[in-house]
């Protein structure tokens, strides 16, 4: 099986904004995780055509994705109790075609564990021989319910039910961090402020909250200030991608602070 890593909505968007995308991912998460929302955030970021951090939320592609009518985001859901071979064949036919409005097609298979063994074997052929640069996202409560041959050919991302990044302690921490950063805070001051962020889920939530805070500041900024905020957002996104690759939490946060300070 390919590497497993924990992921949040913000980190998935950061992953999608990168240049090195794989052709098949498994998004695994318990009943408390919104896997469909995570997959849609990923697809939205991949297709985004706006400037700055992705998804921008304002371009035509983002607006279509938000309303669920993007031509190049496909959904495969169970018909009754299962996902049958015919449904997979219809999806494969569309994947062999050209995207309508984007550079690639993204297929989201919800409740992928509902595929019959025959359906999974059918889809396996497309995963083994990808169509162009299209991407398949398999959403499941447990990756072990999928065929081992499928597991071995996908990148597994384990979704975590992290605290809401827009509220609570992480929002307050992000606000304090951003304020001290804007006020010329030194490395040791900023590092001490986030010293309690030592767990991966907490780091994900903090980075999500910080990104939201910076994006809010971006709205009122212009000129050099806007460019600097975009640089800070990129630093937070890079830290999130590092966590996804298994980077030590303290090291990822420390590196982010140094880069934000221009070090």
Helix axes 9-16, 200-220, angle to 10 degrees: 70
Beta strands in 34-134 (DSSP E): 73-76, 106-109
Last residue of a domain, one of 159, 185, 210: 159
115: which strand partners? 83
Could you report the per-residue pLDDT of 33-71, keeping only the tens digit for each? 678 888 998 999 899 998 877 888 889 999 999 888 999
The tens digit of pLDDT for each residue in 196-207 reads 898 887 888 888
Are 97 and 208 in a shared domain?
no
Q: Which residues pair with 76 in a beta bridge?
A: 109
What is the pLDDT, as a whole number, of residue 237?
A: 81
Low-confidence ranges of the chain (pLDDT < 50): 1-6, 165-167
Q: Verify that 17 and 53 share a domain, yes or no.
A: yes
- Residues 114, 16 share a domain: yes
**Predicted pLDDT at 26:** 94
**Is residue 48 domain-shared with residue 133, that is, in the same domain?**
yes
Confidence (pLDDT) at 51: 84
d(C-alpha 218, C-alpha 201), whole Å = 26
C-alpha distances out from residue 156 to 89, 149, 180, 215, Å: 24, 13, 37, 29
Length of the chain: 263
Per-residue pLDDT at 160: 66
**Count of domains in the chain?**
2
Last residue of a domain, one of 159, 192, 214: 159
Of 159, 183, 209, which residue is a domain's last? 159
Res 30: pLDDT: 66
CATH of the domain at 125: 3.40.50.300
Q: Do 92 and 180 sit in the same domain of this protein? A: no
Query: Distance (Å, rounded) from C-alpha 235 to C-alpha 229?
Result: 10
Q: Are residues 8 and 135 in the same domain?
A: yes
Nearest to 24 by CA among 97, 129, 119: 129
Range of the domain at 230: 168-260
The reply to whether 185 and 96 lie within a common domain is no
């Amino acid at each position: 099986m390919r590497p497993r890593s924990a992921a949040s909505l913000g980190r998935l968007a950061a992953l999608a904004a990168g240049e090195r995308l794989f052709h098949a991912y498994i998004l695994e998460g318990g009943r408390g995780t919104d896997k469909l929302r995570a997959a849609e955030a990923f697809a939205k970021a991949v297709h985004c055509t706006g400037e700055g951090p992705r998804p921008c939320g304002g371009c035509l592609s983002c607006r279509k994705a938000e309303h669920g009518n993007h031509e190049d985001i496909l959904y495969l859901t169970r018909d009754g109790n299962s996902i049958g071979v015919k449904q997979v064949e219809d999806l494969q036919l569309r994947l062999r075609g050209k995207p309508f409005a984007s550079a690639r097609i993204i297929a989201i298979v919800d409740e992928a564990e509902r595929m019959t063994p025959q359906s999974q074997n059918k889809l396996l052929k497309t995963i083994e021989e990808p169509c162009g640069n299209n991407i398949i996202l398999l959403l499941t409560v447990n990756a072990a319910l999928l065929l081992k041959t499928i597991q071995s050919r996908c990148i597994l991302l384990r979704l975590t039910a992290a605290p809401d990044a827009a509220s609570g302690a992480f929002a307050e921490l992000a606000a304090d961090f951003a304020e001290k950063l804007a006020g010329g805070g030194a490395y040791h001051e900023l590092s001490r402020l986030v010293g309690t962020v030592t767990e991966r889920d907490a780091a994900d939530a903090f980075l999500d909250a910080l990104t939201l805070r910076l994006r809010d500041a971006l709205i009122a900024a212009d000129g050099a200030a806007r460019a600097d905020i975009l640089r800070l957002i990129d630093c937070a996104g890079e830290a999130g991608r590092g966590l996804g690759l298994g980077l030590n939490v303290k090291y990822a946060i420390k590196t982010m602070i140094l880069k934000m300070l221009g070090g």
